[in-house]
Chains A and B, each alone.
Chain A
Amino acid sequence: MQKTLLELSDLSIKFGGLTAVNKLNTKINVGEAVGLIGPNGAGKTTAFNLIVGVYQPTAGKVVFDGEDITGLPPHVVCRKGIGRTFQVVKPFGKMTVLQNIMVGAFVNTSKNKEARQIATEIMEKMGLQGKRDHLAQNLTIPERKRLEMAKALATQPKLLLLDEVLAGLNQTEIEEAVQLIKTINREGITILMIEHVLQATMAICSRIVVLDYGKKIAEGSPQEVTSNSEVIKAYLGDEYENADS
């Protein structure tokens, strides 16, 4: 049995009358790559925000690396070893690419030189070295997505939460990004990713969790999930399922 890195138990949050995430239970093992999918508004990003402490859950627990981190503020959660990217990327526009990444590296060092060294390595891994001294606000979308990952990686996380890092990329760019994420995962960083590009998710993830209206409706290998009737119904509607059967 593998070691559990992240465990969500009965994780729930209500906004007024709306239950955005409803009793979410799941476990992620060390070294795994797990996909979190579901239709728009299913509560995927909200689940991320619950894990990293942007929102306080109404009920339930988040246990990371054997420690209860439920409701800790985002900067503390980051220092526990969870890095996250934002769906709408948030580069520090008036900083250069290297400086952006250095901000993350400063989590583990106070020395400018060391931070620069860590950041340079990650910058090269992410293929951004050509843009080293460019202001982040002048980057293209694919570059911004890669910078977003580089910033999170610079904090040297055990678990990386990726929120639609493939959205807005063309086919070639997606293939490159998939290879990159696979490499990151192979180097020992556990990955939980929200993604709409299913084909890419299946290429990366060994397991997929499906959310609909805040509830987990399926979990399993990509093959299991895609043949699950609940999932097909959630994505394509009742009629499709009826017509099919």
Chain B
Amino acid sequence: MTGININKNSVILAVLVVLLLLLPMAVTKPYYLHVIIICLLWAYLASSWNIIGGFAGQLSLGHGIYTAIGAYITVILFNTFGLSPWLGLFVGGGAAILLSLVIGYPTFGLRGAYYALATVAISEGIVVLLNNTGSIGRFTVGGAEGLIVKMVGNSAVAFQFNSKIPYYYIVLIMVFLIIFVAKWLKESKLGYYLVALREDEDAAAAMGINVRRNKLIAGAISAFFTALGGVFYAMLIRYLEPNAIAGAGMSTQMVFLAIVGGSGTVLGPVIGGILLALISEIIRFYLGGQLMGLHLFIYGMIVLLMIIYQPRGIIELFEKIGQRFSRKHNDEGGRSGAEDPSGA
């Protein structure tokens, strides 16, 4: 029975991958492709947040600082030295890891709301810093006016493309990468430790888990991948504005999408990211011009309804549907098999 399920799943997966690879042939308008790219980017960012926020249950409300540090460092190195963003992203990602450790060491001792508040305070501080730093030595940071990525025309080395299609494939690979990381994490010792310490820190410690160390590792992994998302954002938009890249909007959006999709699961944040970003874009497209802020209001209502009626995330809906399907199959095969909820 399990064998059939795996085969069925891999067939569905293969079809999905092929469809996604062929998508740019069907979607020829750059605007539509851009919307899809943004949706995938949000799916990626929500999944990156999910490693520390979902699996380890540490409610970070300041992940915007990691998108910002990745983006700013990569762009500054590119603008100043012409260093390829493909190399710059490792510097940016590395800096995000360091920052996560510096922030995590004192704050991971805090529990519950105190940790969340600390992350808000730190990220707000960094937004103020970015807004007020015009330059550091010869490095232009841009302050409140923002930082423009130096244009060099169509160049793969410089991560600049005239067409949207390369961006689409890059972000698609990023989403696959983060799903792979989450899937690995879920099966690994680290993943078990994170969920255990999320459920009960004292019990986790009594079972040999170094709580702070494991939080730091999860925080570093999460920060690194979040920073890569920031780099992609910078190269796609080609303009960094402190409030947009580091602000509360960026930070809370990741949290919303992950929770609405289903935090602590492998695919929940991906589904939440794509679905909500799409809904938000559709509402903005149709209502954006009519009444100031109406589209944001409606978007907020939708998020609210989802949280009320589907508190464990959209992923749970998908799992229920999947279970109903497999149960039907089991009944036809004359087996109940209802004891095993782990099939999905």
Contacts and interface: CB of A to CB of B under 8 A. Distances in A.
Interface of A: 52, 54, 73-75, 78-79, 83-84, 86, 90-96, 99, 102-104, 106-107, 110, 112, 115, 133, 151-152, 154-155
A133 B341 contact: yes
Contacts of A93: 199
B199 to A, nearest CB: 4
Contact of B200 (A54, A92, A96, A155): A92
A112 B189 contact: yes
Scoring B203, B207, B264 by chain A CB atoms within 10 A of each residue's CB, the highest score goes to B207
Nearest to B201: A90
Closest A-B pairs by Cβ, 6 of them = A90-B203, A92-B199, A78-B208, A107-B208, A74-B205, A103-B196
B132 interface: no
Contacts of B108: none
B208 A84 contact: no
Contact of B192 (A52, A79, A90, A103): A103
A99 B207 CA distance: 13
Contact of A96 (B204, B210, B342): B342
Contacts of B319: none
Majority DSSP secondary structure for residues of A touching B: mixed
B330 interface: no
Contacts, number: 78
Nearest to A110: B189
B209 A75 contact: yes
21 contacts: A54-B202, A74-B202, A75-B206, A75-B208, A75-B211, A78-B205, A78-B207, A78-B208, A79-B208, A86-B202, A92-B196, A92-B203, A92-B204, A93-B199, A94-B199, A103-B192, A104-B207, A107-B207, A115-B192, A151-B203, A151-B207
B193 interface: yes
Interface residues of B, number: 24
Contacts of A90: 200, 202-203
B332 interface: no
Contacts of B204: 92, 103
B189 A86 contact: no
B39 to A, nearest CB: 28
A73 B189 contact: no
A103 B207 contact: yes
- Name, among A54, A86, A94, A103, the residue most crowded by chain B CB atoms within 10 Å (CB to CB): A103
A50 to B, nearest CB: 14
Contacts of A91: 199-200, 203
A95 B208 contact: no
Interface in B161-210: 187-189, 192-193, 195-196, 199-200, 202-210
Contact of A104 (B199, B205, B208, B341): B208
B80 to A, nearest CB: 43
Contacts of B200: 90-92
A86 B203 contact: yes
A92 B195 CA distance: 8
Nearest to A130: B339
B102 to A, nearest CB: 22
Contacts of B341: 133
A133 B339 contact: yes
A95 B199 contact: yes
